[in-house]
Every structure is written in C-alpha cells, then in structure tokens.
DNA sequence: ATGATCCTACCTATCCAAAGGTAGAGAGAG
DNA sequence: CTCTCTCTACCTTTGGATAGGTAGGATCAT
C-alpha cells in the first residue's frame, strides 16, 4: 500500500470539506470514500474536530512548502496564484482554509486556530516578495490573498473557472 | 406586531446562515430564535431549500436597492464598500451570498441559482461606476467584488475586523 | 521454537441526539 | 364557519461516537 489508510482518510476528507464545508460531510461519507466502516475512521481520528484540525495543519505545511519552492520575488507571487488556480480548476474546490474561514464561528476552536495560522503563514511567506506601490509589504500580501480567495469564491458561485483568471490577471 | 412571523424567521435565518452556513443551523434553532416551535416554521416555509432560496432573493433585492440609492460613479463604489464593511462589523458575519457561494456545490439548485444572480446583479450595478485603468468596467467591478468578499473572509478568519479595512483601503 | 501476550486495524452492532419533515388538533379573528 | 397560525406528538434518517470482538502480525521469555 503506497498510502496509509489515515492518509487516504485525510485526502477524502479534504476533498469533501473543500467542496461542502465542515458541516457538509459525515464520517460515513468518508468511510464509503475509503472503503472501510465509519467506526474504523474513528480508529484513526477520534473526533471530527481532531480530523479537520489535523487536515488544516497538513494543508498549511504543504501549501507553504510549495510556495517556498519558488524563489522570493515575482516567481513566488506567480506560484501562489497558480496554487489557487489549481484549486479552482480541480473541480471548483475552495481553498481549504478559505472554506473553514468562511464557516468560522461555530467551528471547533482548534480548527479556527489552524485556519488563522494558515493565513498568517501565507502572508508572511508572501510579504517579502511583494512589490510595493506606497503600501507596506504586509498589506500588499494581505490584499493579494484577499483577491485570490475572493476570485475562487466568485468562480465557484458562477460555476465558471474562467472567472478566476478574469479577476486575477484579466484584461 | 411591526414585523410578521415570516419576516422574523427570515431575519433569524439570515443571521444564522451568515454566521455558520447552510448546514450550520436547523429549523429548531430558528424556532428558538423566534420563540415558536419548529413545526410552525414549516408552516411559513415548507422546506429549508425554499426558506434559503427566498432569503437569497430578498437579500439580493435589498442589497441592490441599497446600492442604487447612491448615484453612479465614485459614491456608488464607496457605498458598496460600506455595505460590506457593515457586514464585518456586525458580529463578523459573511456576506450571505459569499457564504452560499463558498458552500456552492451540495446546496440545492434553487439556492445556487439565486447566489449566482446576486453576483451578476452586483457586478452589473457596479460596472458603470468603475473607473478603468486599461481594464474593461465589468472586469474592474468583478475584481472589486472579489476583493470585498476576500476581505470579509480574511477578517473573519483573523477574528479581527480591522483586517477588512487594511485590505480595502489600507495604507 | 513455541506458546503467551500485546498491538494494530478493522469489523458488527448499537446508542443517543439532532435533523428535516408530517399529521392533526386547538384557538382566535374576520 | 372558516382561515390562519400555532401547538403537541410523532416519524424517519442521519450523524458522531462507543462497546466489544476478531484476525494477523510482532515481541518476548522460557
């Protein structure tokens, strides 16, 4: 088995959260996705909260690592746009933490904490790479992230991936 | 009673959706908010789908009407920013259709249809008011809406309303 | 080496609460 | 009397979570 069961659960859960949100899937859904019983999902992740918090942690680490493969400066900015674009092209999924950020209040604290960490890490990893037109770099990075999250959201609402490109580097 | 029961249900439901999403509340929650029993909520709105679709329709009409109170041009742009800012200041709620757009796939079709209509109407009502720096006005409007939705989302994720202002008209 | 023991991963079978929704009765207003 | 609204009292399905058990592999002492 190239992938452990826990990894397959996390993968299935990520897809479901990014499509339907924290309250949009059940352990039974995941069990069916992976081909085991829901009780077995609990063997790997005791609670839904634990599962999603872990998912957000992994997502953040993976995302930041992918960003930092690109050298600072314009290439890194291009890379982050591309990561978000992939999100949209891949079945119109939201950014995981965009989705969790939207649901926000009402999610378990460990999840909101990880969500916040994602955005802080993302802004930090981008700030040094931003050109500045009179605004400080942190603000410029925050603005870019807002635009990207908004672009993903609009593309989903329109059910049209080209909306993303129109927003991000349109005419 | 200055407000009908149906109106009070819609109001309570809107607050709940904007805080927790379509799957984040129940008819029993609404019943408690309004002070009636859940069966009575069904008397006014047969299904959850019908309730939320109606809610989105009303929201769109109200939002567009509020926008068009402001004359076209810069005042209208200022007004839309202000409407979104209110959203954040008012307990960090998402824009209703931003939330529904995020949840997107998995929601009933009548709801996604109304969500799409909101964004189309909003972009149309803004396009004429946008200054253009080499981009066409529709694209400029789309970009503004993306930035605003993203700003609301980030403010929520950070649990800090000032993030909204930093994104939208920060230094 | 071999049996006793333990751990991991999965199972079956439930539990209980919550959710969307329904049926039918009662009470007040026109 | 009838229409509107609300209630009580359910039903069915789903959801998160638990209890207890089984098969297989590793570990260890004798």
Could you read off the pLDDT of B117-146 as tens digits, one per residue? 999 999 999 999 998 777 899 999 999 999
**Residue A22 CB closer than 7 angstroms to strand D?**
no
Tokens 């069961």 correspond to: A5
pLDDT exceeds 90 at position B105? no
**Residue A40 CB closer than 7 angstroms to strand C?**
yes
C-alpha distances (whole Å) from A6 to each of A28, A40, A101, A142, B167 are 15, 10, 24, 33, 38
B107, B28, B156, B73 alpha-carbon torsion, rounded to 10°:
70
Query: Which one of B25, B104, B135, B161 would you mutate to disrupt binding with A, by most A Cβ within 10 Å of its Cβ?
Result: B104
**Residue B27 CB closer than 7 angstroms to strand C?**
yes
User: Angle, nearest 10°, between helix axes B96-103 and B48-69?
Assistant: 130
Q: What percent of chain B has pLDDT over 90?
A: 90
Mean pLDDT on A35-40: 94
A171 in reach of chain B (CB within 8 A):
yes
Give the pLDDT score at B88.
Answer: 95
Give the pLDDT score at B63.
Answer: 95
C-alpha distances (whole Å) from B171 to each of A113, A139, B17, B84 are 27, 8, 32, 19
CA dist A51 and A123 (Å) reads 25
* Higher per-residue pLDDT: A69 or B133: A69
Identify the closest residue of chain A to B133 by CA–CA distance.
Answer: A171
* Model confidence pLDDT, tens digit, residues B53-86: 999 999 999 999 999 999 999 999 999 999 999 9
Tell me what the pLDDT averaged over chain B comes to. Answer: 94
B95 in reach of chain A (CB within 8 A):
no
pLDDT exceeds 80 at position A155? yes
pTM of the prediction? 0.91
Give the pLDDT score at B1.
Answer: 54
* Chain C footprint bases within 7 A of protein beta carbons: 9-14, 18-24
Q: What's the CA A64/C1' C24 distance, rounded, in angstroms?
A: 60
CA dist B135 and A48 (Å) reads 45
Q: What's the CA A150/C1' D23 distance, rounded, in angstroms?
A: 51
Q: What percent of chain A has pLDDT over 90?
A: 90
Identify the closest residue of chain B to A136 by CA–CA distance.
Answer: B171
* B121 alpha-carbon distance from chain centroid: 13
Name which of A40-44, A61-65, A135-139 the model is least confident about: A135-139
């Amino acid at each position: 088995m190239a992938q452990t069961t826990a990894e397959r659960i996390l993968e299935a859960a990520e897809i479901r959260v990014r499509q339907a949100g924290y309250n949009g899937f059940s352990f039974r859904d995941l069990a069916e996705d992976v081909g085991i019983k829901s009780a077995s999902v609990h063997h790997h992740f005791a609670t839904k909260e634990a599962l999603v918090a872990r998912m957000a942690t992994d997502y953040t680490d993976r995302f930041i690592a992918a960003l930092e493969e690109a050298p600072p400066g314009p290439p890194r900015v291009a890379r982050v746009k591309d990561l978000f674009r992939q999100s949209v092209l891949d079945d119109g999924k939201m950014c995981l933490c965009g989705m969790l950020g939207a649901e926000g209040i009402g999610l378990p604290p460990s999840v909101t904490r990880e969500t916040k960490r994602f955005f802080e890490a993302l802004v930090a990893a981008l700030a040094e790479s931003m050109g500045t037109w009179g605004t400080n770099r942190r603000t410029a990075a925050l603005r870019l992230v807002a635009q990207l999250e908004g672009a993903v959201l609009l593309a989903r609402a329109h059910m049209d991936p080209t909306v993303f490109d129109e927003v991000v580097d349109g005419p």
